[in-house]
Amino acid sequence: MKFTSSLLTLFLFLCGSVASAQDGYIRAYEGTFALTNARIETITNGTIENGSLVIRDGVIEEVGATVAIPGDAEVIDCSGMTIYPGMIDGGTRLGLQEIGSLPETVDHGEIGDIRPHMQALTAVNPNSVSIPITRVSGVTTVLTSPSGGIMPGTAALINLHGYTPDQMDAGFKGVVLNFPSSARFGRFDRRTDEDIEKQFNEALERLNETWEQAVLFERIDANGGSDLYQPEMAALVPVIRREAPLLIEAHAAKDIEKALEWIEEKSIDAVLTGVREGWRVADKIAAAGVRVITGPVLTTPSRDYDRYDAAYRNAGWMHDAGVTVAIRSGEVENVRNLPFNAGFAAAYGMGREAALEAVTIVPARIFGVDERLGSIEVGKDATLFVADGDPFETKTQVVDLFIGGYRIPIESRHISLYDEFLNRNPGLER
Amino acid sequence: MRLTLLALLLLAGSAAAQTAVDLPPAETRGDLLIRGATVLTVTNGTHENTDILVRDGKIEALGQGLSAPGGVRVVDGTGFHVMPGIIDAHSHIALSNVNEAQNTITSEVQMGDVTDPTDVGIYRALAGGVTTIHTLHGSANAVGGESETLKLRYGTFDPNALHFEGAPRTLKFALGENPTRVHGRGRDIRPRSRMGVEQLYREAFSEARRYRDAQNEAEENGTLAPPYSRRMETLADILDGEVLIHCHSYRADEIVMLMNVLRDFGVDRITFQHVNEGFKVAPELADFGAGASVFSDWWAYKFEVYYSTAYNVAILLRNGVRASINSDSGELIRHLYHEAAKSQRYGDLTDDEALSLITINPAWQLGIDDQVGSIEEGKDADLAIFDGHPLSVYARPVMTIVDGVVRFDEARDGDDMRLDVDPEEAIEDVRLYDHDEESCLVDAFVL
């Protein structure tokens, strides 16, 4: 209450006319901003201990130790605060699910095994209550992915501000492949070893059949195409032409190895996702030069005989082996835990610098959006946040937030419930 | 020659690593001196450069310049933080079953009968600084079974050796979506609504009261005693104040409902579990004197937790409710210190307040706060040692001590700490857990 109301006061003081306080609603606004006296962790060009950053037309216009403050800028004093680029979560279902147990509110799983043309972006609910709850933690951009089957659809990178899916589009889309799995999922998976092997082989056969068809389709397409409407095949053409990476979900060590062989055989550009047992085959992943988006870090080891901290250390072990590693939360309503996933990876061997890169510039590069996101550099999108400390540290507060140059209120349902109920009125008496 | 040397080195290496069967027997009560640590007592401030002397499993002395009798292991605590062993008021690890879901009232069953002391989840919890857990019956039934309070004396095959001596009996209740789904919608019997849940409690308590009255009458006047019913015995024991209720609950209205029922039947000890909307009725909970054991940030996995907030625990605490943070998960239990720290992001609690959520407060909720939950002379030597402040995301637990016995030691433990190894087990049983939420319904649908 103390924190949020003082922030609100500061906010109203700084931009009185823009905030429509009379109806209790504050909306995002754009403008020219100068963030002054800040510590700035640029990620790609070191840390500026006391500097300023100017935002204009949605991008970072200036950043440095000595920056001329434009006369028309709204000045925000960031003394004692640090500016970071918005964190990027390399794997979520944010916006595609509102309430886990209610199928009416779950839109990430379509019927059918092969449906790469299903577009996650289409089903992103820009008004999901989880979105403001996520972005006030400093996570500004997420990959949101479809689920189920062998090829569940096309994932989309979205910025967490906007009123239509198109406004949220952050410039990357990728077809997802759930590589055939030899692992069991959760405590309710009671399949026998024989069932698992059979299903693995069937899925691999189906995948390879699909791939042959897609290769044929691409050849027909390159030679003038056909009149047949085959959207699931068309969706795979950019992957076959190496114009876009295939996002391949694989976890068990031997599945990862098979996936690496498959990637080489098909000669495609691929990113491995999930990769819970990546540490067991880290050298092979590194040798193949395949990039990885791993997570969640906060999960149990995949085998009972593994060391208790194997999952915490997975990202660090892969990083040490020379793998390019981004970190994801794998979450929906708690994507806000991305910085804590990264924090645990940092504490368990990865180190803070690599972990910070794993949620900023590394995923930006993997998704090919590093010209716009992932670090504090002139010309990049003004998608960044201001915090009173290390964003991985649990007690740190994010005090200011910009996405694409829009200043976003530090507001969410969780915060407004706090404001309402900390001192409920009436209290005990009627 | 070089090969032999290598073999010797390997042998030495493997001999140094401790395995689960090397751990001391469960009945061991250890002696230990921790020297020069930062001691977070939780109830009595933080003391720098302080020693803790442990004798026979109890904290004998706390102070500076303490010395240990010869032969007592000395742990150099310089640069380390020591906090009370973490207590999880809601867990389903170390259980071979969770729900007896064939009746809406199953107060006759006991989780103590299905304790699995070999669950590697116990070791993983120890590796997160946890020393005591409350293993509950599931939430399929409005009245579930008796729960069990355990000390994590990992290393034994005897389920009874984990029992927390002197812990009061506790029983699981459950409100809302789970009991109405399993029985009402799943089996077409009451309760299917929150109205039905209320009347189920009123009928059950009324029957239990008649049962106990008839027993008393038989004893005093020699009338015929009612046929023995384990189910009724336990419910009557609740009315007599001998069993503490721990109630799975979410919505504000159902929380108030149960407090009203309990008032009508003269029951005054209850801890609400999960209680995501507890913050909405915090004044009522405080007025009743109820405990609240909550998630740090879980929400939106079902409708009854949609209107919840991560600031729940802060609102509860600031309104005078004795609150704790629990795991309900074999994953979260490994980092409850981090879950507690979230109360500083979501509500600005002090370090001691945040630590109380996983130590003295759950101890109070389980009725064991006179034995554990803080670092005080005379209390059990259940301690967790970290290489930084436990509320920092960068801090790692390095040693966990139960009854003065080191049961997790980052430096000495081997990788494979399974106790019960099945020689026929497939070597590559890979099992992935995603967001291990609400283990409460395990077994509920295996009908």
Residue at B321 is within a domain: yes
Residues of A in contact with B307 (CB under 8 A): 413, 417
CB-nearest to B393 from A299, A392, A414 is A392
Nearest chain A Cα distance for residue B46, angstroms: 19
**Interface contact B300-A98, CB threshold 8 A:** yes
pLDDT at B443: 73
From residue A128, alpha-carbon distances to A296, A361, B306, B398 in Å are 22, 26, 12, 40
More confident call, A126 vs B424: A126
CB-nearest to B301 from A100, A305, A306 is A100
pLDDT at B187: 93
**Interface contact B300-A415, CB threshold 8 A:** no
**Interface contact B430-A251, CB threshold 8 A:** yes
Residue B99: give its domain's CATH number.
3.20.20.140
Nearest chain B Cα distance for residue A30, angstroms: 27
**Residue B362 to residue A377: CA distance in whole angstroms:** 48
CB pairs under 8 A between A and B: 175
**Interface contact B335-A336, CB threshold 8 A:** no
* Among chain A residues, CA nearest to B444: A188
List helix spans (H) across A241-306: 253-266, 282-288
CB-nearest to B300 from A130, A296, A424 is A130
Is the per-residue pLDDT at A8 higher than 80? no
Residues of A in contact with B335 (CB under 8 A): 298, 344
Range of the domain at B287: 85-373+437-441
Residues of A in contact with B437 (CB under 8 A): 100
pLDDT at A410: 95
Is the per-residue pLDDT at A9 higher than 90? no
Helix (H, G, I), strand (E, B) or coil at B336: helix
| Full set of structural domains in chain A with CATH | 2-85+385-421 (2.30.40.10), 87-373 (3.20.20.140)
Average pLDDT over residues A189-196: 91
Residue showing tokens 């909307």:
B277
Is the per-residue pLDDT at A11 higher than 90? no
pLDDT at B436: 52
Residue at B55 is within a domain: no
pLDDT at B3: 46
**Interface contact B432-A393, CB threshold 8 A:** no
Residues near B110 by Cβ (< 8 Å), separated by ≥ 6? B145, B146, B148
Residues of A in contact with B304 (CB under 8 A): none
Average pLDDT over residues A276-295: 98
**Helix orientation angle between B194-221 and B252-264, rounded to the nearest 10 degrees:** 20
**Residue A338 to residue A144: CA distance in whole angstroms:** 14
Residues near A69 by Cβ (< 8 Å), separated by ≥ 6? A34, A36, A52, A54, A75
Nearest chain A Cα distance for residue B40, angstroms: 18
Structure confidence by residue, pLDDT tens digits, A76-103: 999 999 999 999 999 999 999 999 999 9
ipTM (interface pTM): 0.95
Residues 357-416 of B with CB under 8 A from A: 391-396, 415-416
CB-nearest to A428 from B283, B391, B434 is B283
pLDDT beneath 70: ranges in chain B: 1-16, 426-427, 434-439, 445-447
Residue at B234 is within a domain: yes
Chain A touched by B422 (CB under 8 Å) = no
Chain A touched by B214 (CB under 8 Å) = no
pLDDT at B278: 98
Q: Structural domain tally of chain B?
A: 1
**Interface contact B433-A332, CB threshold 8 A:** no
Structure confidence by residue, pLDDT tens digits, A154-171: 999 999 999 999 999 999
Pairing status of strand A33-41 against strand A74-77:
parallel
Nearest chain B Cα distance for residue A98, angstroms: 7
Q: Confidence class of residue A394 from pLDDT cuts 50, 70 and 90? A: very high
* Among chain B residues, CA nearest to A421: B280
Residues of B in contact with A186 (CB under 8 A): 431-434, 436
List helix spans (H) across B53-166: 120-126
Residue at B416 is within a domain: no
Residue at B383 is within a domain: no
Chain A touched by B311 (CB under 8 Å) = yes
Residues of A in contact with B311 (CB under 8 A): 414-415, 417-418, 422
**Residue A126 to residue A96: CA distance in whole angstroms:** 10
**Residue B107 to residue B174: CA distance in whole angstroms:** 12
